[in-house]
Amino acid sequence: MTNARARRQTLAQIFRWPLAIGVLSTVGLISALVGDGLWDAVSWLALLLPILLYGWFLLRPRR
Amino acid sequence: MGPRLRGDDSECVENIVVISGTRPLRRWHWVHKWSSIVCTAFMLMLCITGLPLIFHHEIDDLLHEEVKAAAVPAGTPAANLDQAVATVLAKFPGQVPHFLIWDRDEPDALMVSIGPSINASPVDNRIARVDVHTGAFLDSPDITGRFTYFMLKLHTDMFAGLPGKLFLGLMGILFCVAVVSGVVVYAPSMRKLRFGAYRKDRPRIVRRLDVHNLAGILLVMWALVVGFTGVINTWADLVLKAWQYGQLAEMTAQYRGREIPAKPTPVQDAVDVARKTIPHMQVAFVAFPGSIFSSKSHYTVFMRGDTPVTSRLLKPALIDAETGKLTDSRDMPWYVSALFLSQPLHFGDYGGMPLKIIWAILDILTVVILWTGLYLWLKRRKPATGAARAGTPAGARPIEGQVVTS
C-alpha cells in the first residue's frame, strides 16, 4: 500500500479508475448541455475531478 | 545532468518503452509516437491561442469600450426591425443588409451585418450593433485589430483560409489518434505501477513520464471530445455549403432563376410570420433575400429553442419576400445539427464561468501532456548520456540505450 509499485496488474486493474473517470467526464460534458442550474453543477464537479486528482497525485505527501 | 539511474531503474526504463512488447503493441507505440510528433507543434499553438478564446467575451469587455444598450424594464417591446436596419444604412450609405443576428449572450443588442453589395462575400461584412428596444445605433467596432481576433484567426485557420482550417482539422484528427493510441500504450507502462503513481525521487525522465501518463489518462475523454469537436468545426464552411446546395436548394427549388424582388416585404413582417409559425422558438438569425443563407426570393428566418441544447439548434423558416407568406420550414439535416452541437463542446461556453475556468485548467493540463510527451521523445532520441548503466549483465532487463534505438 505504501509503495507506488504494485504487483503485475491485469488490464482490468489498470483501467478500473481511468474508466470510471472517463465515464464521469462524459457525464460532465453532457450534463451542462442538457439543462442549467443543477445540471451545470454536476458538470463542474465531474470535470473538476481529473484536475483535483492530478493535483493530489503530484502533491500528496510522501508516505 | 540529472541524477543517474539507480540499479533497479532499468525496470522503470522498461516501463517507458516496452521492448518486450508484442508486435501489435510495438505498432501502437509507433502510431502514438508519430501521430504525436506530427501534431504536437500545432496542438501547442492551438492550446495557447485557445486559452484566451475561452474568455473572449471578458477580454473584449476589458480591452474595448462598447456602447451599452439602454436599460429598460422587463417586457419592453422590441423596436421595429426595418427602422433599425434603416438607421444602420443611414450611417453607412451604399451598404446593403445581409443578416440580422441576435447574440444569445447579449439579448439587448441586435447585430446588423452589412456589405457593399448583396453578392459580396460576407466574410468581409461590417457588423453594426443596434439597441434592440430603442432601435438606436450603438456602435460598429472594427474587430480585426483586436487581440481576440488575432488569436481566433491563428486558432481557426492560421490566416490561411479554408486550406488552413482543413489542415488544422487534420492535425486534430492526428491528435485524436495520439490520444487513443496513448490509452493503448498506457497499459504496459502501468503494469507494475498503481494508478496515479508519481515517482518523485526518480530521475527527471521518469518523473516526466509519470506526469505524462497521469495527466494523459485523466484527460482522455475531455481531450477526445474537445479535439474531435474542433475537427468538426474545421468543416463548418463545407457543412454550410452542403446545406445550401442540399436542403436550402430543395426548399427553394420552384423559385430558382428569379431575381431579388425590387420592393421586398418588410423584414419585420417576415420575422412576425416566422414567430407565428414556430411560436415556441426565438429568432436567432435572419438572412436577407440574395444572401448566402437564403434564396433570392426569400427571407430565411432561423429560430432557436431555449434550453442549452435547443438554443444551439436552428430551424429555418422561409418567407417569400414578395408575398410575405411562409413557403417552407424544416428541421436542419443531421450534419448541420452535429456542427451546431459540436460548437459548445469545443468552446466550453455552455456552463457559466465555472465551466470556462475548468476548461482553461484542462487546456493548460493538455499543454503539460504535450510538453512532457515532447520531452520524452527528445530524451529518448539522444543516446543515453551516462544513463545506461555500464556493465549490465547479459540477459538483464533492457536499458535505455536499447530504448533509444527502438
Tell me if B255 sits within 8 A of B298, measured CB to CB: yes
Q: Do B130 and B199 fall within a single domain? A: no
What DSSP letter does each residue of B199-234 carry, written as one string?
-TTS-HHHHHHHHHHHHHHHTHHHHHHHHHHHHHHH
Give contacts of B353 with chain A, Cβ < 8 Å: none
Closest CA to B232 of B312, B339, B157: B339
- Residue A49 forms part of a structural domain: yes
- Residue A29 forms part of a structural domain: yes
- Residue B45 forms part of a structural domain: yes
Supply the pLDDT for residue A61. 79
Q: Do B158 and B302 fall within a single domain? A: no
Supply the pLDDT for residue B19. 46
- Residue B66 forms part of a structural domain: no
Q: Do B362 and B391 fall within a single domain? A: yes
Supply the pLDDT for residue A62. 67
- Residue A36 forms part of a structural domain: yes
Domain termination residue (choose one: B334, B350, B366): B350
Q: Write down the residue that cell numbers 462524459 correspond to.
A: A26
- Residue A40 forms part of a structural domain: yes
Q: Do B170 and B129 fall within a single domain? A: no
Supply the pLDDT for residue B13. 47
Cross-chain Cβ contact A29/B225 below 8 Å: yes
Supply the pLDDT for residue B381. 79
- Residue B70 forms part of a structural domain: no
- Residue A22 forms part of a structural domain: yes
Supply the pLDDT for residue B8. 46
Q: Do B131 and B190 fall within a single domain? A: no
Q: Do B344 and B218 fall within a single domain? A: no
Contacts of B85 (CB under 8 A, 6+ apart): B97, B100, B112, B267
- Residue B109 forms part of a structural domain: yes
Q: How far is CA B27 from CA B21, B22, B172, in A?
A: 10, 9, 21
Give contacts of A22 with chain B, Cβ < 8 Å: 220-221
Cross-chain Cβ contact A4/B193 below 8 Å: yes
- Residue A17 forms part of a structural domain: yes
**A residues 13-42 near B, CB within 8 Å?**
14-18, 21-22, 25-26, 29, 32-36, 39-40
- Residue A34 forms part of a structural domain: yes
Closest CA to B61 of B106, B111, B107: B106
Q: Do B398 and B264 fall within a single domain? A: no
**Domain count of chain B?**
2
Supply the pLDDT for residue B92. 96
Give the residue numbers in B contacting A (CB under 8 Å), as ranges: 183, 186-187, 190-200, 211, 214-215, 217-222, 225, 307-309, 341, 344-345, 350-352, 354-355, 358, 361-362, 365
Supply the pLDDT for residue B24. 85
Mean pLDDT in runs of 10 for chain B (406 residues)? 45 47 85 97 98 96 91 91 96 96 91 95 92 95 93 96 97 98 95 93 95 98 98 96 95 92 95 96 96 95 92 94 95 95 96 97 98 94 51 37 32
What are φ and ψ of residue B131, in 5° steps? -65, 125
How large is the ipTM?
Answer: 0.92
- Residue B255 forms part of a structural domain: yes
Q: Do B227 and B240 fall within a single domain? A: no
Burial class of residue B397 (count of CB atoms within 10 Å of its CB; 0-12, 13-18, 19+): middle
Q: Do B94 and B111 fall within a single domain? A: yes
Tell me if B204 sits within 8 A of B378, measured CB to CB: no
Supply the pLDDT for residue B105. 83
- Residue B366 forms part of a structural domain: yes
- Domain of B84, in residue numbers: 79-145+236-350
- Does residue A3 carry a pLDDT above 80? no
Supply the pLDDT for residue B395. 37
- Domain of A35, in residue numbers: 11-59
- Residue A6 forms part of a structural domain: no
- Residue B3 forms part of a structural domain: no
Tell me how far apart the alpha carbons of residues B397 and B107 are, in angstroms, rounded to a whole number. Answer: 66
Percent of chain A with pLDDT over 90: 76
Q: How far is CA B78 from CA B133, B135, B307, in A?
A: 4, 8, 22
The more confident residue out of A29 and B405 is: A29
